Homo-oligomer: A and B are copies of this chain.
Amino acid sequence: MSAALPRLLHELKQQLLFLSSTVEESVAKVVSALAQRDARLAAEVVAADTEIDNLEIAVEAECLTILALQQPVASDLRFVVATLKINNDLERMGDLAKKIGKNVIYLCGVPQPDVRCDFREIADISRSMVKRSMDAFVNGDVELARGVLEDDDRVDNLKDALYAELRSGMRQHPDQLEALLKLHSVARNLERLGDMATHIAEEVIYMVENNIVRHSNSNG
C-alpha cells in the first residue's frame, strides 16, 4: 500500500460528502418549494443539477485514479467500489430532485388542486433517509443503515395513501387531472428518493459486513 492511500481515500470521502450535501440541499429546497409554491426556489433546484452532474464526474475520475495508481485491496477496495456506486445513486437523486422541481414549477402556474394532500411527512422521511444513509456511510454505521431500510416501508405506505387521495381527486375533479398527475409524480419521486437512500444503506452494510442484504427486502 502506498503511503498516500489513506490521505487519498480521506479526500475521496470528502469529495463524495460534498456531492451528497449538495444533493441533500436540492432535496430540502425542492420540498420547501413544493410546500410554499415557490417557483423560483424550484428553478434553483433545476439549475443546481448541472453542478451535481459535474461533481459526480469528478468523484468517478478520482476513483479511477486511485484504482489505477494505488491498487487498493480488501476494505480499501470495497470502499472505492462503494463510492463509485453511491456516487451514481447520488447523481440520480439529483435527477429526481430536478424532476420534482420541474413539476413544482408547473404546479405554481396553475390553481391549487382541490385535494387534501399533505406531502410533509413523506418529504421529511425521504430527506432524512438520504441524510442518514450518508451518515451511515461516513461512520460505517450498520445500525443507522438498517434504520434507513426500515423506513422504506413507511415511505411506501405514505406514497400509497397520497396516491389514494390523488385518485379520489382525479375522479371528483377531472378538470384538474393534469395538476393531480403532477402531484402523483411528485409523490412517486419522493418515494424513489427514499428508495435510492435504501440502495446507499444496503451498500454501506455490504461494505462493512461484506454481507449482501440487497434484494433480500421486497423493493427489487
**Residues of chain A whose beta carbon lies under 8 Å from any beta carbon of chain B:** 49-50, 53-54, 57, 60, 63-64, 67-68, 71, 73-74, 77-78, 81, 84-85, 88, 91, 94-95, 98, 167, 170-171, 174, 177-178, 181, 184, 212, 214-215, 219-220
Contact = CB atoms under 8 A, between A and B. Distances in A.
A84 B78 CA distance: 12
Given A77-B67, A85-B84, A53 B170 contact: no
A94 B214 CA distance: 14
Contacts of A50: 215
B53 A215 contact: yes
List the 6 closest pairs (A to B, CB-CB), nearest first: A53-B215, A71-B71, A171-B174, A95-B220, A68-B73, A68-B77
- Secondary structure class of chain A's binding surface, majority of residues: helix
Nearest to A85: B88
Contacts of A57: 212, 214-215
Max count, chain B CB within 10 A of own CB: residue among A49, A53, A98? A53
Contacts of A53: 214-215, 220
B81 A49 contact: no
A171 B177 CA distance: 8
B98 A220 contact: yes
Nearest to A220: B95
Contacts of A184: 181
Nearest to A99: B220
Contacts of A177: 167, 170-171
Given A81-B84, A88-B88, 11 more contacts: A50-B215, A53-B214, A53-B215, A64-B77, A64-B78, A67-B81, A68-B73, A167-B181, A170-B174, A171-B174, A174-B174
16 contacts: A50-B215, A54-B215, A57-B214, A57-B215, A68-B77, A71-B71, A84-B85, A85-B85, A88-B88, A94-B220, A95-B219, A167-B178, A170-B174, A171-B174, A171-B177, A174-B174
